[in-house]
Amino acid sequence: MKLKLDENIPYRLADLLEQLGHDVDTVLAERLNGKPDEMVWDSAQQAGRFLITQDLDFSNIRRFAPGTHEGVLILRLRDPGRDSLFKRVLEAFQKQDVETWRACFVVISDRKIRILRPK
């Protein structure tokens, strides 16, 4: 799966996701850190990448309706520290069939994963 990690996602996660077979790019590598969300979104979409972020600006289900994009994963953890984010994302990608998340709106919390699929 082609992924893009937003600047609020631990950078060290990129290497581990690549080891799981994913093609990973980061906002930092593209020098998009600090840029407007629209630039990050457009970059992900143009490259056909599934965006992983904590940024709630991407959480509007009407704007980011399933099936209208490559996919977005919003992380909503009680303790959003780097270690917690790292652990939860890695756990989800190891245990779930994330290839089925293409074009979906996904929210991961501490206890569950909610997947809204295209209709």
Residue 115: what pLDDT?
97
Rounded CA separation 93/88 (Å): 9
Q: Which of 15, 94, 36 is nearest to 26 (CA)?
A: 15
Which of 54, 70, 79 has the alpha carbon at shortest distance from 105?
70
Residue 11 reports pLDDT greater than 90: no
Note the pLDDT tens digit of each residue in 42-75.
999 999 999 999 999 999 999 999 999 999 999 9
Q: Can you give the pLDDT at residue 102? A: 96
pTM of the model: 0.95
3-state secondary structure 82-118: HHHHHHHHHHHHHHCCHHHHCCCEEEEECCCEEEECC
Domains located in the chain, CATH noted: 2-116 (3.40.50)
